[in-house]
Amino acid sequence: MRRLLNTLYVTTQGAYLAKDGEAVAVRVEQETRLRVPLHGLGGVVCFGLVSASPPLLAACAEQDIGVSFLSEHGRFLASVRGPVSGNVLLRREQYRRADQPDARALLCGCFVQGKIINARTVLRRFLRDHGDSAGAPAIASAASSMADMLDRVVRATTEEQIRGIEGEAASLYFGVFDGLILTRTRDFTFTTRSRRPPLDPVNCLLSFVYTLLAHDVRSALETVGLDPQVGFLHRDRPGRPSLALDVMEEFRHWLADRLVLSLVNRGQLDPKDFKRSGSGGVVLADDARKDVLVAWQKRKQEEVLHPFLDERMPIGLLPHTQAMLLARHLRGELDAYPPFLWK
């Protein structure tokens, strides 16, 4: 089985990454703060004013270690990778299916079923643990409605119908999301999803963790030879990794949202961990961003059972596993793409 490799996240502004033998050295003001062997890395993610030496970038490319550059607050800027892996015939098939309405509808249905099933499981798990909470009745009603939506997805015949149901499910889910927050303060409340920019701490956390998830999914798709830009559920748009967003859908609620809820409900973050940006949005303070990255890494090391493969594996390997299953479907080895279903 593929080994879960670490991701090096560099958030210190002004840091410089250099190749030091067979390791990456993180230097700040010419002082080496950290040294990490290359053989244990699966990726490097740099936030803000972080630079890297050409020899290090070359070594990472040769060893299939993706290096990504994000803005200080998580907006994707660029990435450096080695030669594209995988068979060109796989990408040809991906493009062919993306141009066929029936094939698009089939995959749209798989992605949306995975998303709704996992969202419903998140709500039902909350009801099991906190059935006496104030928001429980609304959450129970939403979970029941999602069961009906799943039936509608199965019966849907066009991608437009499926996208419409997905939008309804997302609206229903986020309509009761505030009820999942047990820390009842005015700083940690949720009224609606705001993205660019996020307007409150909860939306700030959701956007940041979604960025981390998108990076992992995008890297996994590239590793198996798929083009992350060409999707099925998400329409093509210049600069948008549509396929990465497709595959993300089955992970958003049970992985990203639950991590955010855990950080908030357990009191691991408080209002001073957030600040207002010049654009009026809310961003994470430097130390809080590091805390979220540590929590993300720890969560990825936890193991879950993959129901389709009947095999336990670290959460961090799931994006690669799902990318492999999607590639198998596109090659004709699987009749349908099996989304990961959290239990």
Binding residues for Mn(2+), by number, are 166, 234, 249
Distances (CA, A) of 139 to 28, 131, 297: 48, 9, 29
In this structure, are residues 206 and 190 in contact, taking their beta carbons and an 8 Å threshold? no
Q: How far apart are alpha carbons 311 and 278 in whole angstroms? A: 47
| Side-chain-side CA neighbours of residue 85 (13 Å) | 16
Distances (CA, A) of 274 to 56, 113, 200, 216: 33, 34, 9, 25
Binding-site entries: 166, 234, 249
Q: What are phi and psi of 52, to 5 degrees?
A: -140, 150
Q: How far apart are alpha carbons 7 and 29 in whole angstroms? A: 23
Q: Which residues, 6 or more positions from 219, have their beta carbon under 8 angstroms from its beta carbon? A: 42, 43, 66, 68, 319
Residue 229 burial by CB count (10 A; 0-12/13-18/19+): exposed, middle or buried? middle
DSSP code at position 29 = T
Long-range contacts of 301-307 (CB under 8 A, 24+ apart): 301/4, 304/342, 305/343, 306/340, 307/340, 307/341, 307/343
In this structure, are residues 69 and 43 in contact, taking their beta carbons and an 8 Å threshold? no
**Structure tokens that stand for 25 in this block:** 């050295």
136-157 burial: b if 16+ Cβ within 10 Å, else e:
beebbebbeebeebbebbeebe
**Structure tokens that stand for 30 in this block:** 């010419």
Neighbouring-strand partners of residue 333: none
